[in-house]
Amino acid sequence: MVTVIQAQTVNIIDLKEKFGLQRDNNDQFFTEWFDNLPEITDSEKQALDRVKTNYLSLVDRRPILEELVKLVVLAPLLDLAGFYRLPFDIETEESIQIALEDEGEILRGRIDVLVLKQQLWLLTIESKRAVFSLIMGIPQALAYMLANPHPERPTFGLVMNGSNFIFIKLSKQDAPKYALSDELTLLKRENELYKVLRILKNLGSILI
C-alpha cells in the first residue's frame, strides 16, 4: 500500500531521513544571494517603496492572508524582476510528487508560484500567512525543490510571509544539500525590498 505524504506536513527531520538532505554552512555554497548583485534603478526603488508603504498600511488595518501577500508584495516583485516576460514563464499551483519507492511512500504537494525557463525550475515561492514564521515554510519549499527533474543544476527558492523573506539554494549533485540566506524584512527603516529584487534579478541572470 502506498502512503501519500502532504508536503505541507513535512519537517527538516523528515527530509533528512527520507532524502539524506543536509544543510551546508559554507558561505561559498550560496554566494548568489549576496555576491555581485545587480544594481536597481531609481524608478524600481520608487516602485518598491510603494509596495512597502501599501503592505504596512494594510497591516495596520487588517490581517494579511496568503492571497493578499501574493497580490500586494509578490506580484510586483515578479514584475520588476522580469519574470512575466520571455525567456521566463510562470506557473501557479503546480502539482509535484516524489516517489520513495523503497518505502512505498509518495510526497505530494502544490507549489504557490513556479518560475520556469525552458522547463528548468528557477524559483519555488511559498508565501505563508503574514503571522507565520518563515521557519514553518522552509521544509515545504525544500520538499518541492527536491522534485526538480534537473539534478545537474541547483534550484533556488524564496519563502516569504509578506514582511520577511528568506532565499534557499538546493543542490542535488552527489548528495542533496541546501543553504539559507540571511532573513530580510520590511520592518527596518531601510527598504530591504531593494535587496530582495537585486537577488531575484541575479538568480534570473544565472539562467539567461
- pLDDT tens sequence across 185-203: 998 999 999 999 999 999 9
- pLDDT tens sequence across 140-176: 889 888 887 788 889 898 988 888 999 999 998 888 9
pTM for this structure? 0.87
* Strand pairing class (3-6; 164-171): unpaired
Extract the C-alpha cell encoding 4.
Answer: 501519500
Query: How many CB atoms are closer than 10 A to CB 68?
Result: 17
Most confidently modeled range among 54-58, 121-125, 134-138 = 54-58
Q: For residues 99 and 193, which has the higher predicted lDDT (pLDDT)?
A: 193
**Considering the chain, what percentage of its residues have pLDDT values greater than 70?**
78
> Where in the chain are the domains?
3-207
Q: Which fold has domain 3-207?
A: tt1808, chain A (3.90.1570)
CA pair distance 169, 190, nearest whole angstrom: 25
Least confident of 12-16, 75-79, 128-132: 128-132
pLDDT over threshold 90, residue 179: yes
